[in-house]
Amino acid sequence: KNQVEQSPQSLIILEGKNCTLQCNYTVSPFSNLRWYKQDTGRGPVSLTIMTFSENTKSNGRYTATLDADTKQSSLHITASQLSDSASYICVVSAAASGGSYIPTFGRGTSLIVHP
Amino acid sequence: DAGVIQSPRHEVTEMGQEVTLRCKPISGHDYLFWYRQTMMRGLELLIYFNNNVPIDDSGMPEDRFSAKMPNASFSNLKIQPSEPRDSAVYFCASSRRVSGANVLTFGAGSRLTVL
């Protein structure tokens, strides 16, 4: 069964500090991995997407890494800001029948940035 | 583009009543997904459509749930009769496959409370 596990479940950090969120997955056959940010009361918004051949991708202060051998990904946030407070969801897609790609969602890491 | 549009944003109803949630996907997207999000389970895929055809409805909890996509610009999710355990945020997302990857765009969600 395809699964995506995220850790920690929640995290509180001080503004300006860095943090790293983890994602482990058992999804096969692997197609791509994405990190989404979900602000309270909003739908998730895509931050990064990585395919099998990519092992790092940045989007501003967000840097995602992928180790396809160990089936792990991390999302590193640099110099955190209050607006980074949100839930971060790891999503891994497997190739499905008919050429479609169906995502499996992790439960997310809730990040709170304190001033 | 206005993005994925969902209505209503909030719905409060009594147990036993019928609930209808609506979604307008992004024009040109050929995939449409319905998700349910709760604190306990995170985001759960209920059903998804490709070119208006339901592909996988294995996530639909039980017969009380049904979803239709009569055309490329509209889908609805119905719960009849509703129960308190159906209380959750229901998200609609749409996507089109680009380079083998589905990047989902989510609506703002419909928060359902069943009393």
**Chain B touched by A29 (CB under 8 Å):** no
What pLDDT band is residue B2 in, cutting at 50, 70 and 90?
confident
Residue of B93, B101, B109 lying closest to A93 (CB–CB): B101
The residue of A9, A40, A50, A105 whose CB has the most chain B CBs within 10 angstroms, and thus the best one to mutate to test that interface, is A105
Beta strands A101-105 and A86-95, pairing class: antiparallel
**Chain A touched by B4 (CB under 8 Å):** yes
Average pLDDT, chain A: 90
- Contact present, A87 and A38 (Cβ < 8 Å): yes
Please report which helix (H) or strand (E) contains residue A12, including its range: strand A10-14
Inform me whether the pLDDT recorded for B74 exceeds 70: yes
Query: Two tokens at A9?
Result: 């479940």
pLDDT mean over B88-94: 95
Inform me whether the pLDDT recorded for A88 exceeds 80: yes
Grouping H, G, I as helix, E, B as strand and the rest as coil, residue A29 is coil
